[in-house]
Amino acid sequence: MTVVRVEQKVLNENQRIALDLRRRFEEHDILCLNFVSSPGSGKTTLLECTLAAFGPEEKIAVLTGDLQTENDARRLARYGFPVQQIVTGGVCHLDGKMIERHLEAWSLDDIDVLFIENVGNLVCPSSYDLGEEAKIVLLSVTEGEDKPLKYPSIFHKSTLLILTKVDLLPYVPFDIEAAKANARQVNPDIEILEVACSTGKGMDEWRAWLEKRRSKRQSAAAGGAISAKNERV
């Protein structure tokens, strides 16, 4: 019983911080995306390919989480955008307080898109809101197509499923249509993309999805500014 109360207190505190983060992101017109997957599904590689397509004038930032090392931050920093590593020291997820603390080093006015690469884990990150606009879950074809059924929470809470490493489909026993069906069984509204960073397959579709979300965020911000102006008048 005590464990339940402590866990609830932690989650309530995280939710308070997440709500404040979401408010700040909206005030600064920041599109924040939270990437979640098992270790080795390709989050960092996808982010590398994504950052490589942005021009240097773009206002992009990345927070990347791991239990130890700054390896991923070093990989992502090569593309010239602000990157910070969050070393959790054994904690299997990022939380709102970690995001809040690391954002102190940046001016939010200098960020249009914030990518958060969560710790490799399909369980714990699903319980922690980081103030993101959308969770994106990755599932590689080197994993089981039943992952959405085994770990339903993260698939239920995610807006987008990216099936990665699809160039390996001829060589692995992975039923991609079953994976899609399982994901939609858990979350009928989930969007699904197929991507292979090594060949570029699906990257145009991923960038189009990202630009659509950016445009939606900018339109919402413009609409809010007009409403605020009308209220003052």
Q: 59, 112 in Cβ contact below 8 A?
A: yes
Residue count (the chain): 233
Task: Record the pTM.
Answer: 0.90
Position 219 scores a pLDDT of 81
Position 220 scores a pLDDT of 75
Please give the tally of structural domains in the chain.
Answer: 1
Q: Is the pLDDT of residue 83 over 70?
A: yes
Position 217 scores a pLDDT of 86
- Mean local confidence (pLDDT), 102-112: 98
Range of the domain at 89: 2-232
Q: Which two tokens stand for residue 231?
A: 């209220």
Task: Give percent above pLDDT 70 in the chain.
Answer: 90
Residue-wise pLDDT tens digits, 127-137: 999 999 999 99
Long-range contact set of residues 225-231: C-beta below 8 Å, sequence gap at least 24: none
Q: Tally Cβ neighbours within 10 Å of residue 160.
A: 19
Residue 7, CA distances (Å) to 18, 68, 94 in order: 16, 24, 15
Residue-wise pLDDT tens digits, 162-200: 999 999 999 999 999 999 999 999 999 999 999 999 999
Position 140 scores a pLDDT of 98
Q: 36: domain CATH number?
A: 3.40.50.300
Q: Is the pLDDT of residue 22 over 60?
A: yes
**Alpha-carbon gap, residue 230 to 180, rounded angstroms:** 45
Position 223 scores a pLDDT of 65
- Mean local confidence (pLDDT), 24-40: 97
Q: 149, 173 in Cβ contact below 8 A?
A: no
Write down the mean pLDDT value for the chain: 93
- 218 pLDDT band (50/70/90 cuts)? confident
- Mean local confidence (pLDDT), 30-48: 98
Position 224 scores a pLDDT of 58
The answer to which of 92-96, 153-157, 227-231 has the lowest mean pLDDT is: 227-231
Q: Which two tokens stand for residue 229?
A: 């102006």
Q: Is the pLDDT of residue 209 over 50?
A: yes
